[in-house]
Amino acid sequence: MSFDGIVMNALVYELSNLLKNGRIEKIYQPENDEIVLSIRNESKNYKLLISASSSNPRVYITNETKTNPMAPPMFCMLLRKHLQSGKLIDIYQHSMDRVLCIDIQSLDELGVLSTKALIIEIMGKHSNIILIEKDSNKIIDSVKRVPISVSSVRQILPGLEYKNPPSQGKLAPFNLSKEDFISFIDKSEKGMYVYKALYGNIIGLSPLLAREICYRASLDDSMIVGQLQQDSLNNLYFSFKEFYDKINDNIFSPAMVKNKDESEIIAFSAVDILQYGDMPKTQYISINELLEDFYITRDKIDRIKHKSIDLRKSISVKLDRALNKFAKQKEELLEAEGREIFKIYGDLLTANLHRIEKKQTSIVLENYYREDLEKICIHLDPRLSPIQNAQKYYKKYNKLKNAYQLVSEQIIKTQEEIDYLENVLISLENCTELREIEEIREELVNEGYVKKSSSKVKKKEKEVYSSPLHFISSDGYDIFVGKNNKQNDYLTLKLSSKEDIWMHTKNIPGSHIIIKAKDSQISEETIIEAAMLAAYHSKAKLSSNVPVDYTERKNVKKPSGAKPGMVIYDYYNTVYVTPEKELINKLTKLE
């Protein structure tokens, strides 16, 4: 599964048909490594998303609208200077590699018509977006500058001559003769897998499609070069040639393959993928639509993960401290619970002062607090008088008595803090929007767990609130799931009505769930489905027989001064469920 040279070839074909001779109206840079070109062509508007993200480099036409920074970055300003109102005169691919070139004609600052090339290199962590002068081939700038300290082989800096990425000695696939094909196969190591020999020698061919070519040639992907007989070698060549003949004729069939429950994408490509048999497969008319479907979710998840790393680390450290503090408080409480013995020591010593001799280190006395008058040994400090020894034990008793009261109060607060921090970690896992991460950050700043950013105060933007998850049960009931404490409080305290059903995992950090009541009684099936959502969006998502409490919303209250998302409830029932992703995926989810 990759953005390979074949995908790039199909993309170039589509982009040329849609965008060639169009004009760039606007340029945005929503992320440090991402730009969006707004292009108008033949009375239609298109948004070309170009990303040099290390984890998800990509380029395609998108319908998504992203939030842009208040002040455009320097690279964005540079692109506006050189490319704004420019005409796209050519779109092409460099040598079947993952390099897209867009030639743009525009007026320079002197009013002279000049051509610039925007080069997009989709190459993993080395991905880049580079603007060059077409005539001189000189680099104007790039979204990622690459000095000699980063790469001694190929630098990307303003003023340097642009050089194409090294080919690594690979062969161009088109017009490759049978003799040349057999030659590079024969020269490969005999113990090498056949599919590895293919993608290791052909420009732009990914392991996925190398296996596909082998599959179409009826060769097992575990076959090694040394096992190839002449018939198999001929079949492999004809499969290879037929594959690339269709690419050369711009015959594409974009496809995406998922696992059995359709919860994960196994592979995608610009051509039909046959090697996965009866696995669920979606065919697309456009490679742009396929890429947007795949990357819009993947990129969002990656960026959410990246933006939440510091919060996770900070909260995890504070949670560890709270857990250590809780363990010490439990020890102190346990010690304080045995305080009564010290009062008994004091009472027995006071009643037997006449029997204690000077500098005595211990004394055995009858414990008249017990019916059997069991004897008890009391240690004494020889430096103290009998009455002072008694007072010492009374003092220790009173100290532990006060400590018991204090620690009992502290242990409740520490437990509340642990519950809260664990709930925040679950909320970070449940986030599906960047705005939700920011809401959690704001909440933690307000609660004093995270310091407020020391950066310059930005102009206040109109606040946009994130939305809870919204599902429809099998019986048609609306089920809402809070993904963070702000959403939890909104669901429970504002969105819900008194007769709605409220749910939460029993004594387990997780989301608030609301089932909107109707005139009819809520069915047991809907209760089970909502309980599964509660269990899945909790700390117990990987557990079985998870207890989930549910009650009418009117029985849920938020104590004065309680932390965000924290409530109390009574008059509840409990249902036990095992969260199953397959069943949850079958529920209708509304955006």
Residues 6+ apart with CB under 8 A from 225: 185, 186, 188, 189, 190, 191, 192, 193, 194, 197
Taking the C-alpha atoms of residue 562 and residue 569, their distance in angstroms, rounded to an integer, is 13
Taking the C-alpha atoms of residue 269 and residue 290, their distance in angstroms, rounded to an integer, is 9
- For the stretch 145-195, pLDDT in tens is 999 999 988 999 999 999 999 878 899 999 899 999 999 999 999 999 999
Q: Which amino acid is at 136?
A: S
Q: Which fold has domain 5-142?
A: ibrinogen binding protein from staphylococcus aureus fold (2.30.310)
Q: Give whole-number Cα distances, 112 to 87, 107, 137, 448, in Å.
A: 14, 5, 18, 58
For residue 280, give the nearest of 589, 585, 587, 590 by alpha carbon.
585
- Strand-pair partners of 481: 469, 513
Identify the residue whose tokens are 């979710």: 297
Averaged pLDDT, 189-202: 94
Mean pLDDT check: name the lowest of 148-162, 272-286, 334-348, 528-542: 334-348
For residue 197, give the nearest of 210, 209, 179 by alpha carbon.
210
Q: Which amino acid is at 232?
A: S
Residue 451 contacts residue 356 (beta carbons within 8 Å): no
Residue 298 contacts residue 26 (beta carbons within 8 Å): no
Taking the C-alpha atoms of residue 331 and residue 350, their distance in angstroms, rounded to an integer, is 30
How far is Cα of residue 235 from the mean position of the Cα atoms in its chain? 43
Cα dihedral 165, 166, 168, 171 sign: positive
Q: Which two tokens stand for residue 156?
A: 């990307």
DSSP H helical segments within 224-286, as ranges?
A: 230-248
Averaged pLDDT, 125-130: 94
Confidence check: pLDDT of 260 > 90: no
Is 178-287 CATH 1.10.8.50?
A: yes
Please report the pLDDT score of residue 273 as a whole number: 94
Taking the C-alpha atoms of residue 487 and residue 472, their distance in angstroms, rounded to an integer, is 18
Q: Which two tokens stand for residue 285?
A: 């008319």
3-state secondary structure of 268: strand
- For the stretch 466-517, pLDDT in tens is 889 999 999 899 999 999 999 999 999 999 999 999 999 999 999 999 999 9
Question: Long-range contacts for 381-385 (Cβ within 8 Å, ≥24 apart)?
Answer: 382/358, 385/358
User: Where are the chain's structural domains?
Assistant: 5-142, 178-287, 301-451, 469-590
3-state secondary structure of 204: coil
Taking the C-alpha atoms of residue 458 and residue 271, their distance in angstroms, rounded to an integer, is 47
H or E stretch covering 120: strand 113-121
Predicted TM-score of the model (pTM): 0.63
Q: Which two tokens stand for residue 375?
A: 């004897």
Confidence check: pLDDT of 1 > 80: no
The fraction of the chain above a pLDDT of 70, given in percent, is 96
3-state secondary structure of 573: strand
H or E stretch covering 406: helix 386-430
Residues 6+ apart with CB under 8 A from 152: none
Taking the C-alpha atoms of residue 373 and residue 379, their distance in angstroms, rounded to an integer, is 18
Q: How confident is the model at residue 214 (pLDDT cuts 50, 70, 90)?
A: very high
Q: What angle do CA 394, 399, 403 make, to 5 degrees?
A: 145
Please report the pLDDT score of residue 591 as a whole number: 65
Across all residues in the chain, what is the average pLDDT? 90
- For the stretch 51-100, pLDDT in tens is 999 888 999 999 988 888 889 999 999 999 999 999 999 999 998 999 99
User: What is residue 67's DSSP assignment?
Assistant: P
Taking the C-alpha atoms of residue 188 and residue 170, their distance in angstroms, rounded to an integer, is 13
Taking the C-alpha atoms of residue 166 and residue 169, their distance in angstroms, rounded to an integer, is 8
3-state secondary structure of 135: coil
3-state secondary structure of 320: helix
Q: Which two tokens stand for residue 66?
A: 């992203």
Residue 251 buriedness (CB in 10 A; 0-12 / 13-18 / 19+): exposed
3-state secondary structure of 542: coil
